[in-house]
Amino acid sequence: MWSSAHVLAVVLVVAVCAALMMGYPVAFTLAGVSLIFAGLGFAFGLFDPSFLHALPLRVFGIMDNDTLLAVPLFVFMGVMLERSRIAEDLLETMAELFGNLRGGLVISVMLVGALLAASTGIVGATVVTMGLISLPTMLKAGYSPRLACGTIASAGTLGQIIPPSVILVLLGDALGNAYQQAQLKMGVFAPKTVAVGDLFVGAILPGLLLVGMYLLYLIGVAFFSPASVGATVGQRTERRPGLPMRALKALLPPLLLVFAVLGSIISGVATPTEAAAVGAVGASVMALIKRQLSFKRLGEVSEQTVLISAMVFMILIGASLFALVFRGFGGDDLVHEALHDLPGGVFGAVFAVMLVMFLLGFVLDFIEIVFVVVPLVAPVLLAMGVDPIWLAVMIAVNLQTSFLTPPFGFALFYLRGVAPPSIRTSDIYRGVAPFIVIQLIALGLLALFPGLATWLPEVVFN
């Protein structure tokens, strides 16, 4: 039977979602609405204020968390690479390499998106850069506006699943805590841990699978619908002399950085946080070599890093307060009972969670979902025997769709901001629809074959 406190827990979630949809700042919405409900609950004798005593320790734990220290370092690396013209060089070079093939421009954009995902991981910067450089070129070459927009938006979101990824860092911290809670509840007093490095390695094969499925779709469109890729226009991409050497110079820096960051993690030489520091320094050195580093640019990159990092940590603090109040109303027990009572056992519970996250992606940002939803459902799923690495990768692929799903997909907003007036918003929405379907198919394959996420970590870390 539901008590009055349980009703308040449900109303708290609804109120937070409603406030977020109205456009209020995420961090202050989570904290403010939670405090209001805590006051109401205390006034009616339904909330024990001692739950709030844990908030200072949680805030200190967030600030003292070595894993979360990787967030500003990876953000710095991504912003520095974005400002050092590496993306522009890659796009121009790949367009020359593949431009004369049927559908070569969309294939080159997808490949560049994958490379940028593995080196920068910042969706906004990637979508804006490719939108400014590639979209006019593709439209001039006769490419379908829907195909061009869908390719750019989906390629820009690959940074969410291909490591090193900020979302995997955040998921690693959230699921690491949830995994320990689940094991303690199961009576395991020497709990195993799940590290961010495990998630990075586990996401490699699913990320490559998604890129491969995107490319197969684009090749299929080029073959079965030549008019969509400008095949009837007959324009050819001009190739300047010295293309092989320029291609090597464009590809080598990001590849070296990827190998340095991921290689140090996989080999066990460095933790993800230490590898993030290597990436930040490496990005700065590359900018210096390309003569794109100055004190002014360093200040701009640092300022942007502070703004993004502050937003992430403020949301995390607000989410911690929300979790405490929600638990104070007995909401975690409600979630536990709801997932256990679903038909289908573990499969039914995982399917329900994935469906809820997918639907929330239409209206909420991935950071909000990670900080609010994951701490509520992950301990229950992990206690039911779900593999933490597989669950993390499933969530990451699912949340990637939140960047593409209308009406609030961030990649859609970024592209709309740089697209020419001739591109209609409906063209962008319809263009991303096939890629959303591909993501859902990839999610289904990952559900059917968990080894896609768990095999490589087992081999690498034994």
**Is pLDDT at 232 greater than 60 in this prediction?**
no
pLDDT more than 70, % of the chain: 94
The verdict on residue 149 lying in a domain is yes
Is pLDDT of 237 > 60?
A: no
How many angstroms separate the CA atoms of 185 and 401, rounded?
A: 33
212 band by pLDDT with thresholds 50, 70 and 90: very high
Residue with tokens 């006051």: 39
Considering only residues 2 and 147, tell me which one the structure prediction assigns the higher pLDDT: 147
Residue 18 has pLDDT above 90, yes or no: no
Give domain status of residue 233, yes or no.
Answer: yes
Is residue 375 assigned to a domain? yes
Per-residue pLDDT tens digits for 360-380 = 877 777 777 888 888 888 888
45 Rama class: left (phi>0) / alpha (psi -120 to 50) / beta: left
Give the pLDDT confidence of 413-458 residue by residue, as tens digits: 778 887 888 888 888 889 999 999 999 999 999 999 999 999 999 8
233 confidence band (pLDDT: 50, 70, 90): very low
Position 259 confidence tier, pLDDT thresholds 50, 70, 90:
confident
By the 8 A CB rule, do 147 and 428 touch?
Answer: no
Is pLDDT at 122 greater than 70 in this prediction?
Answer: no
Q: What is the pLDDT of residue 391?
A: 92
**35 within a domain of the structure (yes/no):** no
**Residue 272 reports pLDDT greater than 60:** yes
pLDDT of residue 186: 72
> Which residues have a Cβ under 8 Å from the Cβ of 446 and sit 6 or more positions away?
206, 390, 393, 394, 397, 452, 453
User: Is residue 357 pLDDT above 80, yes or no?
Assistant: yes
pTM: 0.84
pLDDT higher than 50, residue 7: yes
pLDDT at 120: 63
The three-state DSSP-derived secondary structure of the chain is CCCHHHHHHHHHHHHHHHHHHCCCCHHHHHHHHHHHHHHHHHHCCCCCHHHHHHHHHHHHHHHCCCCCCHHHHHHHHHHHHHHCCHHHHHHHHHHHHHCCCCCHHHHHHHHHHHHHHHHCCCHHHHHHHHHHHHHHHHHHCCECHHHHHHHHHHHHHHHHCCCCCHHHHHHHHHHHHHHHHHHHHCCCCCCCCCCHHHHHHHCHHHHHHHHHHHHHHHHHHHHHCHHHECCCCCCCCCCCCCHHHHHHHHHHHHHHHHHHHHHHHHCCCCCHHHHHHHHHHHHHHHHHHCCCCCHHHHHHHHHHHHHHHHHHHHHHHHHHHHHHHHHHCCHHHHHHHHHHHCCCHHHHHHHHHHHHHHHHCCCCCHHHHHHHCHHHHHHHHHHCCCCHHHHHHHHHHHHHHHHCCCCCCHHHHHHHHHCCCCCCHHHHHHHHHHHHHHHHHHHHHHHHCCHHHHHHHHHHHC
Give the tens place of pLDDT for each residue, 130-146. 888 788 888 888 889 99
**What pLDDT score was predicted for residue 239?**
61
Residue 231 has pLDDT above 80, yes or no: no
Q: Is pLDDT at 394 greater than 90 in this prediction?
A: yes
* The pLDDT value given to residue 424: 86
Asked if residue 217 belongs to a domain, the reply is: yes
Check residue 210 and give its pLDDT.
94
Task: Classify residue 36: in a domain, yes or no.
Answer: no
In terms of C-beta density within 10 A (0-12 exposed, 13-18 middle, 19 or more buried), how is residue 281 classed? middle
Q: Is the pLDDT of residue 358 over 80?
A: yes
Kindly tell me if the per-residue pLDDT of 148 is higher than 50.
Answer: yes
Structural domain that includes position 65:
50-461
Structure tokens at 5: 């406190």
Answer yes or no: is pLDDT of 292 > 70.
yes
163-194 pLDDT per residue, tens: 888 888 888 888 887 887 777 777 766 667 77
- Residue 234's pLDDT band, with cuts at 50, 70 and 90, is very low
Confidence category of residue 323, pLDDT binned at 50, 70, 90: confident
The whole-chain average pLDDT of the chain stands at 83
Q: Is the pLDDT of residue 240 over 80?
A: no
Number of structural domains (the chain) is: 1
- Written as six digits, the tokens of 115 are 């490379």
Rounded (5°) CA angle 123-125-126: 65
32 is a domain residue: no
Let me know if residue 23 belongs to a domain. no
